[in-house]
Chain A
């Protein structure tokens, strides 16, 4: 079969699988951002205990491959607790925990990149730590974090492919299913590769625009 025929035959199916991939990516990144913000803030905390908790989480996640985490959540947790998780939910949990750890590091670096004088100025006005963080430090930190967040976004988008191992019908899994039927390995993986490439290129272009728009007063 030619490329055109393959696309005509499987295009809709592959596009809907791409939709699932994006859904998984977006949902996971939303949760990862919350986790990252929380643990990133704990990490810059002057309180020893909080700092340790954040580091423990980050080190654990970074020390375990995503596949292991995915298997653990999808197969391990139901066995231990009796709670069945759908592939989507298990996938979101695994990806969120994974990306959350990297987001936490991005948040930490972003906060630490803000000049120390900013926090001092805010605190010297009588603002509590939390308010200073929210109104002064984080708005500035997020700006420096944007390139890294975009990067993490792309990594997470690509990491969704790993969830094919737990049977979630994202793009790679869809490709495997199609190939099992038509044996067109070479052409199919070219098509799928190009689909990832296009989506990621478009997203990073949009993100760069956003980054430029967010730079205030320059």
Chain B
């Protein structure tokens, strides 16, 4: 694994960035994912939509093994996540994740939140990590908040810091788990703006979202999920404006 060339290391054998085959996931007797096949190419922005309980978040959390899969394979960056012998920490370094509830570390200041992983994982010295962190904070428009604790930030600011923290390891892939669902409406825009920037910079993104506007504007592909299956997928045009499946139509009627 270590001897792979850069190009090979960051793409799967079939040229995809993330390749999911026949993925099933159950919690006890509850089947949450009932067989999903998804292929995501480099630079794609994939939005997962669907009613709550449809398995969107679980699917996302399988992609960095926060949830262990029950059946099927997931290959990310050439690493088979269902293979227990891989070093999952190495894989995760390359996959940033942003959570609905931010999950900033309250015992650390904003800049320390961002510096923690690069310094602990010996990717950078403290000075380099601080410099990178300040650049990232600047990018999300929060450079002046570097030294404050997360409890002093608004929801939108917290989520922008969380994005900066995830970017600090310079990942190839970013996973977003309902990043704006816990925000007051007036703060949704600032977070989506940062995400749009990322997408424009060519980041591979998988986004679980209820923001149909964002999906329409930014997504290269929209996947509609219901009850653990992919019901329909396609361009935002196809899914959001001309859905074919009754369940998709029904869902979109409710949310739009």
Contact = CB atoms under 8 A, between A and B. Distances in A.
A117 B98 CA distance: 11
Nearest to B66: A120
Interface string B79-111: 000000000011111111101010111111000
A128 B93 CA distance: 11
Interface of B: 64, 66, 89-97, 99, 101, 103-108, 116-117, 120-121, 148-152, 162, 165-166, 169
A52 interface: no
A67 interface: no
Nearest to A125: B117
Contact of B105 (A118, A124, A128, A218): A118
A127 B89 contact: yes
Interface residues of A, number: 21
A126 B107 contact: no
B150 A124 contact: no
A131 B66 contact: no
Interface stretch (A135-143, A162-170, A187-195, A199-207): A135-143
Contact of A216 (B92, B107, B166): B107
A217 B149 CA distance: 6
A197 interface: no
8 contacts: A121-B103, A122-B105, A124-B92, A125-B96, A127-B117, A135-B120, A139-B107, A140-B107
Given A120-B99, A120-B103, A139-B107, A126 B169 contact: yes
Contacts, number: 74
A127 to B, nearest CB: 6
A128 B89 CA distance: 6
A217 B152 contact: yes
Given A125-B169, A216-B106, A218-B151, A117 B66 contact: no
A9 interface: no
Contacts of A127: 89, 116-117, 120-121
A123 interface: yes
A136 B107 contact: yes
B142 to A, nearest CB: 16
Nearest to A128: B89
Contacts of B95: 124
A20 to B, nearest CB: 37
A125 B116 contact: yes
Given A117-B99, A121-B99, A125-B116, 17 more contacts: A121-B103, A121-B105, A122-B116, A125-B92, A125-B96, A125-B165, A125-B169, A126-B89, A126-B91, A126-B92, A126-B94, A136-B105, A136-B108, A140-B106, A143-B107, A217-B152, A218-B151
Interface in A139-155: 139-140, 143
Contacts of A115: 101, 103
Given A123-B66, A127-B116, A127-B117, A118 B103 contact: yes
Nearest to B120: A131
A126 B66 contact: no
Interface string A92-125: 0000000000000000000000010110111111
